[in-house]
Amino acid sequence: MNQLVNQLETQSNEAIEVLETNINAYATPTAKKLKAIHPSIKQSGQEWFHKLMREHTPAVVIVHSLDATRDLMKWLIANKMIQSSVYNRSYRLKDWIDLGPIPINYPDGATGVVFCTKHLKYYGWKGNAFQQLREDVLNQFNER
């Protein structure tokens, strides 16, 4: 995650300011162990994430992994920030990635987009497999 953030900030000449957070703010070594955490603890962490989203209204949100993508999409739909037709429970992560940028309409009138990607634990030192994501994010900022 740090490598992606560093590359986006460097390649944009510091024009992109990155706010990094987790939708599930309770750290566990594996997704399996996260599922074992009491739901109220997970919900509390997600409420902080939602608050950050509403207050900062980020122009670009990068969500990685299928579970985080599903959680985010459900919340965005429930809060009428994306169209409900976007969500499809049967989507694999590749399907979410193939959608490209998903438009967000924040309650205060601000707009943004969500990019879905595979888990950033696969990023590596250079992130060569994530080159298209970096280009798409940079292009999104250039269009604003």
pLDDT tens per residue, range 72-98: 999 999 999 998 888 888 999 999 999
Among candidate residues 139, 90, 95, 135, the one with its CA nearest the CA of residue 118: 95
H helix or E strand, kind and range, residue 31: helix 31-35
Q: How many distinct structural domains can be found in the chain?
A: 1
Domain that residue 80 falls in: 2-143
Query: Quick check: 18 pLDDT over 80?
Result: no
pLDDT tens per residue, range 22-51: 666 666 777 777 778 788 877 887 888 889
Residue with tokens 């595979």: 118
Map residue 113 onto helix, strand or coil. strand
pLDDT tens per residue, range 115-142: 999 988 888 888 888 999 999 999 887 7
Question: Rounded distance, CA 144 to CA 141, Å?
Answer: 5
The pTM score is 0.84
Give the distance, in angstroms, between the CA of residue 100 and the centroid of all CA atoms in the same chain. 12
Among candidate residues 70, 72, 60, the one with its CA nearest the CA of residue 111: 60
